[in-house]
Chain A
Amino acid sequence: MAEIRVRNLHKAFADFVAVRDSSFTVRDGEFFCLLGPSGCGKTTTLRMIAGLELPTSGTIELAGRDVTFNRAGERDIAFVFQLFALYPHMNVRENIGFPLKCMGMKRAGIATRVEEAARILRISHLLDSRVSGLSGGDRQRIALGRAIVREPAAFMMDEPLGALDAEFRHLMCGELRGLHDRLKATTVYVTHDQMEAMAMADTIAVMNRGIIEQYATPQEIYDRPASLFVADFIGSPPMNLLSFTGALAPGARAVRLDGAAVGVPELREGVEERPLVLGVRPEHVRFAEAGALRGEVYGTEYLGTTQIVTLKTPAGPLKARVPSTVAVKPGERIGLDFRADRLSLFDAASGRALRTALHDPAPRHAASHQVRRGGSHG
């Protein structure tokens, strides 16, 4: 098993930059997700780690070895493709055993390892079938079997669940994470689906336009999005982004949103008068008659225990996640209250999150973060 270190990785295709100066480390045994919209460079990054693309500049280290320009076959990794890439001219057993055959292993050894992999993935009964007639889920398991059979230093997975239907994808999420917990293999997993990333990853790198916008745990990314892009990309429905213009002094504890004072985490930096954005998660909105900001109910989506209420406010449309027991009618005017300690502030021009008591990367506050997080989630 191995640690993967990526340093200043850069990839340009002619005049298009796919990956811009990215650095990150995947710790030994970690399940790491590259998350982002299509075209953000996540697959290119993965393919460079795997050796299917060569970087324009930068280095890739695998288990302490510089493999930046090594051939894919010399990196001791396994790759699971979105479309599985099972060889149609081979049966299941031959497909799973193929990597071992490539390595020149003896036939008896291959048979043992293939059966072991099939047992782990519960596909022993399929070993002698042809791959063409099998369901998406079975093909996915065979593709995983082909990856685990060689016991590689690391797994690369490129949207491996993308071709499955929604219900099965959910099931496979659980299986994949279970498999990871058992094998403890370093895994780099590429997806555009935040639910998959949130459900499985130890660490997520959110990518946009070739840049890693944030590299953190799922919890951290959800609670403290580092940029407007991350705030908007993560969460379903995403974070409400309310635009306003204002100047803020260090230590400020409120912002003025369209005349209404809204409490925010204590500012740790000051900004001059400029366009700003207040980020509010739907679940941090409460209905309160005393609320400074008021909105008109536009529509509701019923989700069982909770409902999503869309409101029109002077600062823009806003979605609130409230218990289904709260009765609201379209057209009704409601006072709104936000959970002040959970709000984010962004600079509209750069997209950067402002430093506040909630958002503070400064080391001297790290300890207090830990304490507070422990208290609120433990």
Chain B
Amino acid sequence: MPGLSTAHSVVEPSALSKRIAQGIVILYALLTMIPLAWILLTGFKTPPDSISYPPKLVFQPSLEGYCNLFTTRSRQTPEYIAGLPPAEGMCDEIARSRNMVVAGPSKFVPRFVNSLVIAFTSTLLAVGLGTLAAYGFSRFRVPLADDLLFFILSTRMMPPIAVAIPIYLMYRELGLSDTKLGMILLYTAVNVSLAVWLLKGFIDEIPREYEEAAMIDGYTRLQAFRKVVLPQAATGIAATAIFCLIFAWNEYAFAVLLTSGEAQTTPPFIPFIIGEGGQDWPAVAAATTLFVIPIFVFTILLRKHLLRGITFGAVRK
């Protein structure tokens, strides 16, 4: 009841300090959103507008970037274009105004689908395996548990790229180069150590009496795990899934090294766009915008869990 109380509280911040704090947070949020906003705007500029100096804040929006992202085009003489039947669709029209014709769809959609399949599958695997392993470490007397946990963590101590060449050679021998399966296995392997460690913390926090009560009441351990532990660990699982997904979604170095065609993901594909016929920044910006959306949606969907998840265990209830 702020209206009734005039006394200073030791724990409750004053209205003024709350305002100042709000101001700082809003300012910081705006600052961090400028690059994202710039990318979003650039996606709707024409190529000349995108490189104009000073940069244009007010411009005629265009879908040329998106058209260029989704199509491949070939340059033709104006005479040839004049001889063609009327343009089909907006993208064709834009292309013809630049003396080009649409030759077919670009590889963006398959690359994007690759990203979705690889990132989500590897996240699912890493979190699934991680939950089971973390539960085992948390609940059973595993021989050499501490050493095993250290071993699992130690796989993250070296920068992954340091083992890039051995992995490249191994993948070539095994026929895993440029396959979705190969990328899923790789990202799962990298993420599973993170998942085990994060989830062990969450599961340690769940009193084992919950499962014991369920087991005495007639559940098997597996049923108790599914019906009692999993709902309790949902927060931790969601937080872990987001971390894993962000890694797998954004990973660039291995994707460049190990994929070139069939299994190429979006991150290595985006630089390709730059190279095709001048620096097509609107198309790059369009690709980046679309690339951010899945993570954005996933995070928003799980944000309640994420917030609780990353502060979980800090304060005992």
- Interface positions of A (Cβ within 8 A of B): 50-52, 71-73, 75, 77-79, 81, 83, 85, 87-89, 98-99, 102-103, 146, 150
Q: Return the chain A residue nearest B228 by Cβ.
A: A87
Q: Return the chain A residue nearest B211 by Cβ.
A: A85
Once the chains are docked, how many angstroms separate the CA of A39 from the CA of B260?
Answer: 62
B215 beta carbon closer than 8 Å to chain A: yes
- Interface positions of B (Cβ within 8 A of A): 207, 209-210, 212-220, 228, 231-232
3 closest Cβ contacts across the A-B interface? A85-B209, A99-B217, A102-B218
B217 contacts A85, C-beta separation under 8 Å: no
A73 contacts B217, C-beta separation under 8 Å: yes
B216 contacts A72, C-beta separation under 8 Å: yes
Looking at the assembled complex, report how far the CB atom of A55 sits from the nearest CB atom of chain B, in whole angstroms. Answer: 15
Looking at the assembled complex, report how far the CB atom of B210 sits from the nearest CB atom of chain A, in whole angstroms. Answer: 5
Residues of B within 8 A of A72 (CB): 212, 215-216
Given the contacts A88-B232, A89-B231, A78 and B210 also touching, CB distance less than 8 Å: no
18 example contacts (A-B, Cβ-Cβ < 8 A) are as follows A51-B215, A52-B212, A52-B216, A73-B218, A73-B220, A75-B216, A79-B212, A79-B216, A81-B209, A83-B207, A83-B209, A85-B210, A89-B231, A98-B217, A99-B218, A102-B218, A103-B217, A146-B213
B216 contacts A87, C-beta separation under 8 Å: no
A73 contacts B232, C-beta separation under 8 Å: no
Q: What DSSP secondary structure best describes chain B's contact surface? A: helix
Q: Return the chain B residue nearest A81 by Cβ.
A: B209
Residues of B within 8 A of A85 (CB): 207, 209-210, 212-213
Once the chains are docked, how many angstroms separate the CA of A57 from the CA of B274?
Answer: 73
Looking at the assembled complex, report how far the CB atom of A162 sits from the nearest CB atom of chain B, in whole angstroms. Answer: 13
Q: Return the chain B residue nearest A74 by Cβ.
A: B218
Once the chains are docked, how many angstroms separate the CA of A77 from the CA of B213?
Answer: 11
Once the chains are docked, how many angstroms separate the CA of A371 from the CA of B228?
Answer: 56
Looking at the assembled complex, report how far the CB atom of A94 sits from the nearest CB atom of chain B, in whole angstroms. Answer: 12
Given the contacts A83-B209, A88-B232, A89-B231, A78 and B216 also touching, CB distance less than 8 Å: yes
Once the chains are docked, how many angstroms separate the CA of A83 from the CA of B209?
Answer: 8
Once the chains are docked, how many angstroms separate the CA of A150 from the CA of B219?
Answer: 14
Cβ-neighbour of A150 out of B210, B215, B217, B220 (below 8 A): B217
Residues of B within 8 A of A98 (CB): 214, 217
A87 contacts B210, C-beta separation under 8 Å: yes
Which of A71, A98, A102 has most B Cβ within 10 Å?
A: A102
Once the chains are docked, how many angstroms separate the CA of A81 from the CA of B211?
Answer: 12
Once the chains are docked, how many angstroms separate the CA of A87 from the CA of B207?
Answer: 10
Q: Return the chain B residue nearest A98 by Cβ.
A: B217
Looking at the assembled complex, report how far the CB atom of A114 sits from the nearest CB atom of chain B, in whole angstroms. Answer: 14
A81 contacts B217, C-beta separation under 8 Å: no
Looking at the assembled complex, report how far the CB atom of A113 sits from the nearest CB atom of chain B, in whole angstroms. Answer: 13
Which of B207, B210, B216, B232 has most A Cβ within 10 Å?
A: B216
Once the chains are docked, how many angstroms separate the CA of A102 from the CA of B224?
Answer: 10
Residues of B within 8 A of A75 (CB): 216
B216 contacts A51, C-beta separation under 8 Å: yes
Q: Return the chain B residue nearest A149 by Cβ.
A: B217
Looking at the assembled complex, report how far the CB atom of A60 sits from the nearest CB atom of chain B, in whole angstroms. Answer: 15
Which of A73, A88, A98 has most B Cβ within 10 Å?
A: A73
B216 contacts A50, C-beta separation under 8 Å: yes
Residues of A within 8 A of B232 (CB): 88-89
Once the chains are docked, how many angstroms separate the CA of A103 from the CA of B219?
Answer: 8
Once the chains are docked, how many angstroms separate the CA of A146 from the CA of B210?
Answer: 13
Q: Return the chain A residue nearest B213 by Cβ.
A: A85
Looking at the assembled complex, report how far the CB atom of B190 sits from the nearest CB atom of chain A, in whole angstroms. Answer: 32
Once the chains are docked, how many angstroms separate the CA of A309 from the CA of B219?
Answer: 56
Residues of A within 8 A of B217 (CB): 73, 78, 98-99, 102-103, 146, 150
Residues of B within 8 A of A103 (CB): 217-218
Once the chains are docked, how many angstroms separate the CA of A52 from the CA of B139?
Answer: 12
Once the chains are docked, how many angstroms separate the CA of A103 from the CA of B214?
Answer: 11
Q: Return the chain B residue nearest A82 by Cβ.
A: B209
Once the chains are docked, how many angstroms separate the CA of A78 from the CA of B216?
Answer: 7
A73 contacts B209, C-beta separation under 8 Å: no
